Structure 1
Amino acid sequence: MNQGIETVGLYVRDQEEALAFYVGKLGFVVHTDAGNGDYRWLTVQHPDQPGFQLGLFRPGPPVHDAATAQALNALVAKGAMPPLVLTVNDCQAVYKQWSAAGVEFNQEPVERYGTVDAGFRDPSGNGWKLIERATAGA
């Protein structure tokens, strides 16, 4: 049996805003954008990782009732969800590039644990860690 994780979902408050951020600022590409009534299945991919999708989903019907959707949106906005990790070859360079594109970082690059990392949040409040890959032999 062949199994694997293909899509991980993020809750976002506005799918158009999330799309503009992930595609326009971070350089992801759209994989799937399909609607079914009020529900929209929207996934993006990192260009260097085509087999993995990041789902940009709005809490709400048909999956959640209105109260649950409101609670989930509030948790995301507070940064209460676990951060996601994106590895890069040069954290300082990506930090400069994305800062110039309008990504707001809540932690500038810091050297620690033998590598460099930075932190940012998407427009909905989802936290991200940007971590530089350790060099071979380090």
Structure 2
Amino acid sequence: MDITIHQSYLPHLDHEASLAFYRDTLGFEVRTHVEYGDMHWITVGPAGQPDTGVVLHPPAADPGITEEERNVITAMMAKGTFAGLNLATKDLDATFERLQAADAEVVQEPTDQPYGVRDCAFRDPAGNLLRIQELR
């Protein structure tokens, strides 16, 4: 089989803050931006990887969830426990410094993990946990 990862989904609460973070701070390209009422679906992705994207979506858009479930999702997002994304870079220290200088919320500074990777962690404006691993 020939299967690739095309898109993953991360919820957002503030499309402008999320767009600024992923576009301006991480340097991702904006692929699509769909608006329906006050809800926004924004697909972003790394430059040079046109077939891989992250869809930033409003968690309230799913008509199948209850208000109570929306509240749980929002609370989990605020804690950084609802969704996450693992990224990779060749220069972890430079990437960390750039994100820290852009006032991204640092969760963990670059660390050599006991399971063999070196990584750091940030939260995006919605609280989603982003781990960035150094490619070796």
Give the TM-score taking structure 2 as reference length.
0.86
Q: Cα gap change, 1:39/1:104 in structure 2, threshold over 3 Å: closer, same or farther?
A: closer
For residue 129 of structure 1, the aligned residue among 122, 128, 131 is 131
2:10–2:83 Cα contact (<8 Å) kept: no
Residue 37 of structure 1: CA displacement? 3.4
Q: Does 1:72 align with 2:73?
A: yes
CA distance in 1, matches of 2:110, 2:62: 40
RMSD of the alignment, in Å? 2.0
Aligned residue type for 1:59: P
Alignment pair present for 1:48 and 2:39:
no
| Matched residue, 2:88 | 87
1:37 matched residue in structure 2: 37
Structure 1: stretches of 5+ with no match in the other structure: none
Secondary structure, counterpart of 1:130 in structure 2: strand
**Amino acid across the alignment from 2:93:** Q
**Equivalent residue, structure 2, for 1:110:** 111
1:120 paired residue among 107, 119, 122: 122
Question: How has the CA–CA distance of structure 1 residues 116 and 70 changed in structure 2, closer, same or farther, with 3 Å as cutoff?
Answer: same
Moved more, 81-90 or 17-26: 81-90
Which 5+ residue runs of structure 2 have no aligned equivalent?
none
Letter of the 1:37 partner, please give it. Answer: G
Q: Report percent identity of matched pairs.
A: 35
